Structure 1
Amino acid sequence: MTDWAHLHAPSLGDFEVLAEAAYARLPEEFRALCEGVVIRVEDFPDDETMEAMGCETPFDLLGLFRGIGLAQGGATMQTGQFPNMVWLYRRPILDYWAEHEESLGALVTHVLVHEIGHHFGLSDDDMKAIEAAAF
Protein backbone atom coordinates (compact mmCIF):
# COMPACT_ATOMS: atom_id res chain seq x y z
CA MET A 1 0.00 0.00 0.00
CA THR A 2 1.31 3.47 -0.90
CA ASP A 3 2.00 5.78 2.05
CA TRP A 4 0.09 8.80 0.69
CA ALA A 5 0.60 10.75 3.91
CA HIS A 6 4.27 11.32 3.06
CA LEU A 7 4.09 11.88 -0.70
CA HIS A 8 4.51 15.29 -2.31
CA ALA A 9 3.25 16.59 -5.64
CA PRO A 10 5.78 16.04 -8.44
CA SER A 11 8.12 19.03 -8.79
CA LEU A 12 9.15 20.73 -12.03
CA GLY A 13 12.24 18.51 -11.99
CA ASP A 14 10.09 15.41 -11.53
CA PHE A 15 7.99 16.50 -14.50
CA GLU A 16 11.09 16.97 -16.63
CA VAL A 17 12.06 13.37 -15.80
CA LEU A 18 8.52 12.21 -16.70
CA ALA A 19 8.66 14.13 -19.99
CA GLU A 20 12.09 12.72 -20.87
CA ALA A 21 10.90 9.19 -20.10
CA ALA A 22 7.71 9.72 -22.14
CA TYR A 23 9.72 11.04 -25.08
CA ALA A 24 12.19 8.13 -24.88
CA ARG A 25 9.31 5.61 -25.09
CA LEU A 26 7.90 7.13 -28.29
CA PRO A 27 8.47 5.22 -31.54
CA GLU A 28 11.72 6.06 -33.32
CA GLU A 29 9.86 7.24 -36.45
CA PHE A 30 7.97 9.82 -34.40
CA ARG A 31 11.08 10.98 -32.54
CA ALA A 32 12.77 11.46 -35.93
CA LEU A 33 10.08 14.07 -36.74
CA CYS A 34 10.96 15.83 -33.50
CA GLU A 35 14.64 16.49 -34.17
CA GLY A 36 15.56 19.76 -32.52
CA VAL A 37 12.30 20.12 -30.56
CA VAL A 38 12.93 21.53 -27.10
CA ILE A 39 10.65 20.33 -24.29
CA ARG A 40 10.09 22.76 -21.41
CA VAL A 41 8.16 22.29 -18.20
CA GLU A 42 6.61 25.27 -16.43
CA ASP A 43 4.05 25.52 -13.64
CA PHE A 44 1.64 27.61 -15.74
CA PRO A 45 1.50 29.36 -19.11
CA ASP A 46 2.59 33.00 -18.98
CA ASP A 47 0.07 35.84 -19.33
CA GLU A 48 0.92 36.43 -23.00
CA THR A 49 0.30 32.78 -23.84
CA MET A 50 -2.95 32.70 -21.88
CA GLU A 51 -4.20 35.76 -23.76
CA ALA A 52 -3.09 34.43 -27.16
CA MET A 53 -4.79 31.07 -26.52
CA GLY A 54 -7.96 32.62 -25.10
CA CYS A 55 -7.59 30.96 -21.71
CA GLU A 56 -9.90 32.05 -18.92
CA THR A 57 -7.75 30.53 -16.16
CA PRO A 58 -4.16 29.27 -15.94
CA PHE A 59 -5.58 25.73 -15.67
CA ASP A 60 -7.12 25.80 -19.18
CA LEU A 61 -3.93 24.80 -21.01
CA LEU A 62 -2.08 21.52 -20.39
CA GLY A 63 0.59 22.02 -23.03
CA LEU A 64 1.56 24.06 -26.07
CA PHE A 65 3.66 23.71 -29.22
CA ARG A 66 5.32 26.85 -30.53
CA GLY A 67 7.27 26.87 -33.72
CA ILE A 68 6.97 25.80 -37.32
CA GLY A 69 6.00 22.17 -37.71
CA LEU A 70 6.71 19.95 -40.68
CA ALA A 71 3.16 20.53 -41.96
CA GLN A 72 3.95 24.25 -42.13
CA GLY A 73 7.27 23.80 -43.94
CA GLY A 74 9.49 23.83 -40.87
CA ALA A 75 11.78 20.97 -41.87
CA THR A 76 14.84 23.23 -41.92
CA MET A 77 15.80 25.87 -39.42
CA GLN A 78 16.14 29.43 -40.67
CA THR A 79 18.70 31.91 -39.34
CA GLY A 80 17.29 33.72 -36.31
CA GLN A 81 14.41 31.26 -35.92
CA PHE A 82 13.71 29.96 -32.43
CA PRO A 83 13.70 26.18 -32.11
CA ASN A 84 10.39 24.36 -32.10
CA MET A 85 9.32 24.05 -28.48
CA VAL A 86 6.76 22.10 -26.49
CA TRP A 87 5.66 23.39 -23.11
CA LEU A 88 4.10 21.08 -20.56
CA TYR A 89 2.28 22.91 -17.78
CA ARG A 90 2.72 21.05 -14.48
CA ARG A 91 -0.10 22.47 -12.37
CA PRO A 92 -2.87 22.16 -15.02
CA ILE A 93 -1.69 18.61 -15.80
CA LEU A 94 -1.77 17.71 -12.08
CA ASP A 95 -5.25 19.22 -11.78
CA TYR A 96 -6.49 17.23 -14.78
CA TRP A 97 -4.82 14.06 -13.43
CA ALA A 98 -6.61 14.45 -10.07
CA GLU A 99 -9.98 14.46 -11.85
CA HIS A 100 -9.42 11.55 -14.27
CA GLU A 101 -8.52 7.89 -14.22
CA GLU A 102 -5.21 8.06 -16.12
CA SER A 103 -1.73 7.52 -14.79
CA LEU A 104 0.40 10.64 -14.63
CA GLY A 105 2.92 9.10 -17.05
CA ALA A 106 0.18 8.32 -19.58
CA LEU A 107 -1.19 11.85 -19.30
CA VAL A 108 2.23 13.46 -19.82
CA THR A 109 2.78 11.20 -22.83
CA HIS A 110 -0.65 12.14 -24.22
CA VAL A 111 -0.03 15.89 -23.93
CA LEU A 112 3.47 15.58 -25.38
CA VAL A 113 2.34 13.49 -28.38
CA HIS A 114 -0.62 15.75 -29.11
CA GLU A 115 1.32 19.00 -28.90
CA ILE A 116 3.96 17.69 -31.29
CA GLY A 117 1.58 15.68 -33.46
CA HIS A 118 -0.96 18.36 -34.30
CA HIS A 119 1.72 20.75 -35.44
CA PHE A 120 3.40 18.09 -37.53
CA GLY A 121 0.13 17.39 -39.33
CA LEU A 122 -0.66 14.02 -37.77
CA SER A 123 -4.23 12.80 -37.46
CA ASP A 124 -5.85 11.87 -34.15
CA ASP A 125 -5.67 8.20 -35.20
CA ASP A 126 -1.93 8.54 -35.90
CA MET A 127 -1.41 10.08 -32.47
CA LYS A 128 -3.44 7.34 -30.75
CA ALA A 129 -1.23 4.73 -32.42
CA ILE A 130 1.92 6.58 -31.30
CA GLU A 131 0.66 6.74 -27.72
CA ALA A 132 -0.29 3.05 -27.78
CA ALA A 133 3.19 2.14 -29.04
CA ALA A 134 4.76 4.07 -26.15
CA PHE A 135 3.24 1.71 -23.54
Structure 2
Amino acid sequence: MTNIANLTPPTLSDFETLARSAWEGLPEAYRTMCGHVELFVADFADAEMLEAVGLEEPFELSGLYMGVDLTQQSTLDPTPEASRVFLFRRPILDEWAERETVTLGELVGHVLVHEIGHHFGLSDEDMHRIEDSEG
Protein backbone atom coordinates (compact mmCIF):
# COMPACT_ATOMS: atom_id res chain seq x y z
CA MET A 1 0.00 0.00 0.00
CA THR A 2 1.27 3.50 -0.85
CA ASN A 3 2.02 5.84 2.04
CA ILE A 4 0.05 8.93 0.99
CA ALA A 5 1.87 11.06 3.56
CA ASN A 6 4.89 10.99 1.24
CA LEU A 7 2.96 11.91 -1.90
CA THR A 8 2.59 15.37 -3.40
CA PRO A 9 -1.12 16.20 -3.43
CA PRO A 10 -2.69 16.56 -6.85
CA THR A 11 -3.06 20.11 -8.12
CA LEU A 12 -6.42 21.59 -9.07
CA SER A 13 -5.54 20.78 -12.68
CA ASP A 14 -4.78 17.15 -11.76
CA PHE A 15 -8.03 17.00 -9.83
CA GLU A 16 -9.98 18.37 -12.77
CA THR A 17 -8.45 15.63 -14.92
CA LEU A 18 -9.66 13.03 -12.39
CA ALA A 19 -13.13 14.59 -12.41
CA ARG A 20 -13.32 14.66 -16.22
CA SER A 21 -12.14 11.05 -16.32
CA ALA A 22 -14.84 10.08 -13.81
CA TRP A 23 -17.44 11.89 -15.95
CA GLU A 24 -16.24 10.12 -19.11
CA GLY A 25 -16.33 6.81 -17.22
CA LEU A 26 -20.06 7.14 -16.61
CA PRO A 27 -22.31 5.22 -18.99
CA GLU A 28 -23.10 7.29 -22.07
CA ALA A 29 -26.85 6.96 -21.49
CA TYR A 30 -26.41 8.41 -18.00
CA ARG A 31 -24.36 11.35 -19.30
CA THR A 32 -26.98 11.98 -21.99
CA MET A 33 -29.77 11.99 -19.40
CA CYS A 34 -27.80 14.58 -17.40
CA GLY A 35 -28.00 17.06 -20.25
CA HIS A 36 -25.73 20.05 -19.84
CA VAL A 37 -24.08 20.04 -16.42
CA GLU A 38 -21.00 22.18 -15.88
CA LEU A 39 -18.24 20.68 -13.76
CA PHE A 40 -16.00 22.83 -11.53
CA VAL A 41 -13.14 22.00 -9.18
CA ALA A 42 -12.00 24.27 -6.33
CA ASP A 43 -10.01 23.81 -3.15
CA PHE A 44 -12.98 24.67 -0.92
CA ALA A 45 -16.57 25.86 -1.09
CA ASP A 46 -16.91 29.60 -0.64
CA ALA A 47 -18.84 31.18 2.26
CA GLU A 48 -22.01 31.59 0.19
CA MET A 49 -22.03 27.90 -0.77
CA LEU A 50 -21.45 26.82 2.82
CA GLU A 51 -24.26 29.06 4.02
CA ALA A 52 -26.62 27.64 1.35
CA VAL A 53 -26.20 24.14 2.79
CA GLY A 54 -26.07 25.20 6.44
CA LEU A 55 -22.40 24.46 7.09
CA GLU A 56 -19.68 26.60 8.61
CA GLU A 57 -16.61 24.37 8.20
CA PRO A 58 -15.34 24.12 4.59
CA PHE A 59 -13.80 20.67 5.21
CA GLU A 60 -17.33 19.32 5.72
CA LEU A 61 -18.36 19.83 2.08
CA SER A 62 -16.74 17.67 -0.60
CA GLY A 63 -19.17 18.44 -3.41
CA LEU A 64 -22.17 20.58 -4.27
CA TYR A 65 -24.87 20.59 -6.92
CA MET A 66 -26.18 24.05 -7.80
CA GLY A 67 -29.15 24.38 -10.08
CA VAL A 68 -32.74 23.33 -10.49
CA ASP A 69 -33.04 19.56 -10.36
CA LEU A 70 -34.67 17.78 -13.30
CA THR A 71 -37.85 17.10 -11.34
CA GLN A 72 -38.42 20.86 -10.99
CA GLN A 73 -37.42 21.97 -14.51
CA SER A 74 -39.99 22.93 -17.10
CA THR A 75 -39.69 23.74 -20.79
CA LEU A 76 -42.12 26.60 -20.15
CA ASP A 77 -39.91 28.05 -17.43
CA PRO A 78 -36.29 27.43 -18.46
CA THR A 79 -33.52 27.53 -15.89
CA PRO A 80 -31.74 30.91 -15.98
CA GLU A 81 -28.31 29.37 -15.49
CA ALA A 82 -26.74 25.99 -16.16
CA SER A 83 -26.72 23.25 -13.56
CA ARG A 84 -23.30 23.06 -11.93
CA VAL A 85 -21.45 20.41 -9.97
CA PHE A 86 -18.60 21.55 -7.75
CA LEU A 87 -15.98 19.15 -6.38
CA PHE A 88 -13.83 20.43 -3.54
CA ARG A 89 -10.28 19.14 -3.63
CA ARG A 90 -9.15 19.60 -0.02
CA PRO A 91 -12.12 17.90 1.69
CA ILE A 92 -11.97 15.03 -0.81
CA LEU A 93 -8.22 14.65 -0.22
CA ASP A 94 -8.80 14.55 3.54
CA GLU A 95 -11.48 11.89 3.15
CA TRP A 96 -9.21 9.88 0.85
CA ALA A 97 -6.37 10.08 3.39
CA GLU A 98 -8.69 8.51 5.98
CA ARG A 99 -9.71 5.61 3.73
CA GLU A 100 -7.57 2.64 2.83
CA THR A 101 -9.80 0.83 0.38
CA VAL A 102 -10.48 3.33 -2.42
CA THR A 103 -8.34 5.16 -4.93
CA LEU A 104 -8.56 8.92 -5.25
CA GLY A 105 -10.13 8.47 -8.68
CA GLU A 106 -12.82 6.19 -7.20
CA LEU A 107 -13.60 8.71 -4.47
CA VAL A 108 -13.80 11.59 -6.95
CA GLY A 109 -16.16 9.47 -9.05
CA HIS A 110 -18.28 8.67 -6.00
CA VAL A 111 -18.64 12.36 -5.07
CA LEU A 112 -19.41 13.26 -8.70
CA VAL A 113 -22.16 10.63 -8.97
CA HIS A 114 -23.58 11.75 -5.62
CA GLU A 115 -23.80 15.37 -6.76
CA ILE A 116 -25.30 14.37 -10.11
CA GLY A 117 -27.90 12.47 -8.08
CA HIS A 118 -29.06 15.86 -6.80
CA HIS A 119 -29.44 16.94 -10.45
CA PHE A 120 -31.96 14.10 -10.78
CA GLY A 121 -33.79 15.27 -7.67
CA LEU A 122 -32.47 12.64 -5.25
CA SER A 123 -31.89 13.66 -1.65
CA ASP A 124 -28.84 12.64 0.38
CA GLU A 125 -31.08 10.16 2.20
CA ASP A 126 -32.27 8.66 -1.12
CA MET A 127 -28.68 8.16 -2.26
CA HIS A 128 -27.61 6.63 1.04
CA ARG A 129 -30.50 4.15 0.81
CA ILE A 130 -29.46 3.25 -2.76
CA GLU A 131 -25.82 2.81 -1.73
CA ASP A 132 -26.81 0.71 1.30
CA SER A 133 -29.01 -1.55 -0.83
CA GLU A 134 -26.13 -2.16 -3.26
CA GLY A 135 -23.78 -3.29 -0.49
Shorter-chain TM-score tier? 0.7 to 0.9
CA contact (8 A) 1:117 1:127 kept: no
Q: After TM superposition, give the deviation of residue 74 of structure 1 in Å.
A: 5.4
From the superposition, tell whether residues 111 and 77 of structure 1 become closer, same or farther in structure 2 (CA, over 3 Å): farther
How many residue pairs get matched? Answer: 128
From the superposition, tell whether residues 83 and 5 of structure 1 become closer, same or farther in structure 2 (CA, over 3 Å): closer
Aligned match of 2:18: 18
Q: CA RMSD in A?
A: 2.8
From the superposition, tell whether residues 3 and 56 of structure 1 become closer, same or farther in structure 2 (CA, over 3 Å): closer
Q: After TM superposition, give the deviation of residue 78 of structure 1 in Å.
A: 2.7
Q: After TM superposition, give the deviation of residue 54 of structure 1 in Å.
A: 1.4
The unaligned stretches of length 5 or more in structure 1 are 129-135
Pairing 1:60-75 to 2, within 5 Å after superposition? 60-73=60-73
Q: What amino acid sits opposite 2:93 in the alignment?
A: L
TM-score (norm 2): 0.81
Aligned match of 2:90: 91
Runs of 4+ in 1 over 4 A off after TM superposition: 1-6, 74-77, 125-128
Same amino acid, percent of matched pairs: 51
Query: What is the SS of the residue equivalent to 1:71?
Result: coil
